[in-house]
Structure 1
Amino acid sequence: MPKNKLSMQLNVEDFLPASDAEKESLTVMRKSVGFWKDGIRRLKKNKISMVSLAVILVVFVLSFVVPQFYPYSYEQQIRGSENLAPMQYSQKEQTAMDAGENVFPHILGTDNLGRDYAVRVMMGSRVSLMVGLIASCIILLIGSLYGSIAGFFGGWVDMIMMRIVDMIYTVPDILIIVLLSVAFDQPLKALSQRPGFQWIQIIGVNLISIFVVFALLYWVGMARIVRSQILILKEQEYVTAARALGASSGHIIKKHLLTNCIGTLIVTTTLQIPSSIFTESFLSFLGLGVAAPMPSLGSLASAALNGLQSYPHRLFAPALAISVIILSFNLLGDGLRDAFDPKLKD
């Protein structure tokens, strides 16, 4: 029987239980996900960052895996194969090919000493990547520890520590590297002659000086970023609760504050890697990088300047490698910043 529109009687059908389809149509909240899962999900939606990550993985394979199976080594000098153009064979190699032998081509030609240039670019990329990663780890450890202590204790401790940071900003890094290279030259050479310290000769005094400078100077930016995060986080309720339960300052910094800064630390470290790579390449270009015959992208570019008119590919190859590596890490860092920023929720 239809209900009278002027009646005050309630419609019983309005109080029937909702069906499953109606419940699903009213659901507006998405499934609960963790911090890492949510960040990775949003990172995957950033196509530019994913392409950059793929490029970085390809560079790592070319730098660390391919040289192990490449038929030429970075220091091998092939007599009669000096100054070859890309994909060109020497007279001796051409004769061997005519005799039925298989000769692997020089993809990027050779240098003036007959060394295959492609494997040297790959090894130079390996050196640059290792320097960038190791230097960024050093900066992460020192900067996060220093900044967390300054931000957590505050007051006169924070003021003194930050004034030290301001003074370090004024120190010229190139001058320090030159001075350290001179000061460490003889002691490190003497130490490298002892058993178990031959790795110093492989790395080189200049490269060790670069790592020391990174440990002394380049952590200040990381320290400032971590300090600003700690100043905000230390006022949260869980920090007050940890103090009330008797937790030590070191435990609070390690377990509560730095743990909640992990997203910022990852993003900052990722953006620090290309900066470290560029610094190492610049210093190697000036002759303050790795020792010969170990190549670096900067030293390869510096050596290519002498034959720029005749062999321009020797400069373009390492320059292109530096550009691709730095651009890929910068784009990946931007994507990580967007993905792990809690203020950017979609």
Structure 2
Amino acid sequence: MTDGATGPVGLAVASPDEPLGDQPGTGADKSIVGRSPGQLAWRRLKRDRTAWASGIALAFFALIALAAPLIERLYGKGPLDRFTDKLDRNGNPLGYLGGISGEHWLGIQPRLGRDILIQIVYGMRTSLIVALTAALLTIVLGVVIGIVAGYLGGKVDAVLSWLTDLTLAFPFYIFCFAFVPIAVAQRYGPTDQEASWFRPMLLVIVFVLFNWTYSARLVRGQVLTLREREFVEAARASGARVGHVLFKQLLPNLWAPILVTFSLNVPALITAEAALSFLGIGILEPTPDLGRLISDSVTYIRDDPAFTLTGGITLFALVLAFNLFGDSLRDALDPKSDR
């Protein structure tokens, strides 16, 4: 039996006087909004607590680096100011924990008498400028080489792949020990004073020469899978030029791996820059630098361990924040990720 409210099997049916859109499951009570891959990735990233924590930390570090001149003005101390009156006869800071006080929040640098806080602020600025500039130039060069090699193939791909393998074969630090002193000697004499911009620019050039290979290989592999897709064939059939196919058709489909590579390349470059400065061939005096600050602190690790811990923890936190954010970004851009 049936009536006006139920169907043959007891299921509720709509009365002629009831609007169909009010019934559950019809789909008319809410609109279906399509989302792009970028919007989906942004939603996954916003739900990731690690991304939030590391992103806030990176914003904090970037703000400190950008506001270094303002911090210097408010703090009342510059990176080159010396407070030798706060040192004892052996060059060690007076007071507890390396001279920490209301006037010097993180203490005094032994022997030189410089304020450690302002050294860290400007050292962070130096590290971020060098790493971000090198990472940006690296990703541009690597993307161009990778996309050209993957799309054109043949002899062009063979030559560029050979160049990539040749670059990877060079030992990075040994090359730096040989190249940097020669480059400095070619421009400056034994008694000349180096310009403050020369050594950072030299490091950027070295980093770009050695780090483009990873992004180039990644982009080349992606292009090899994309160049036979329908949208590329349609662009060719319509008479599009090679430049249009490379940078208008293929490049927009590579932004996800490019972003991940960039975010993970920055902390690697920060570490490399600090390592070169620690070894004495990176940023030199009087330019503040985290790596050199840690190198200077090793001598006083027994008499002033707080000096070593301050620079080391700062570098560790900066690199860790970049690595965690890069991992979260990779997970957010992965469509198969369940995070």
Tell me, yes or no, whether TM beats 0.5. Answer: yes
Q: Residue by residue, what CA displacement relative to the aligned partner does 1:51-76 show, whole Å, maximum 9, x if unpaired? A: 00000111112222154233111111
- Aligned partner of 2:312 in structure 1 is 319
Residue 65 of structure 1, aligned match among 56, 67, 80: 67
Paired residue for 1:304? 297
Match of 2:47 among 45, 48, 56: 45
Cross-structure match for 1:155:
154
Give structure 1 stretches of 5+ with no counterpart.
Answer: 91-103
Deviates more, 1:43-52 or 1:162-171: 162-171
Q: Indicate how the Cα distance of structure 1 residues 25 and 13 shifts in structure 2: closer, same or farther if over 3 A, else same.
A: closer
Is residue 2:85 matched to residue 1:80?
A: yes
Aligned match of 1:123: 122
Letter in 2 for 1:40: W
Aligned match of 2:107:
109
1:238 is displaced (CA, Å) by: 1.1
2:195 aligns to what SS in structure 1? helix
Partner of 2:23: 22
Aligned residues of 2:68 and 2:125 also touching (Cα < 8 A):
no
- Show the counterpart of 1:101: none
The equivalent position to 1:276 in structure 2, one of 253, 258, 269, is: 269
Does the Cα contact within 8 Å between 1:210 and 1:280 map onto a contact in 2?
yes
- The answer to whether the Cα contact below 8 Å between 1:138 and 1:214 also exists between their aligned partners in 2 is no
Preserved CA contact (<8 Å) 1:87 1:105 = no
Per-residue CA deviations over 1:113-143 (Å, capped at 9, x if unaligned) read: 2210111011111111111101101110110
- TM (norm. structure 1) is 0.84
Residues 63 and 13 of structure 1, relative CA distance in 2, 3 Å threshold: closer
Cα 1:88–1:285 change in 2 (3 A) is closer
Aligned-pair CA distance for 1:30:
5.1
Q: 5+ residue gaps in structure 2?
A: 88-92
Aligned to 1:217: 210
Aligned length: 321
What TM-score, normalized to structure 2?
0.86
Question: Match of 2:23, SS?
Answer: helix
Change (3 A) 1:116 1:186: same
CA contact (8 A) 1:285 1:301 kept: yes
Structure 1 residue 174, shift from structure 2 partner: 1.4
Note if 1:36 corresponds to 2:35. Answer: no
In structure 1, give the amino acid aligned to 2:260: V
User: What is the CA distance between 1:25 and its match in structure 2?
Assistant: 6.1
Aligned-residue sequence identity (percent) comes to 29
Partner amino acid, structure 1, of 2:188: K
The AA in structure 1 aligned to 2:105 is I
After superposition, the C-alpha distances for 1:194-235 in whole angstroms (9 at most, x for unaligned) are xxxx9x711243x33322221211110110111111111111
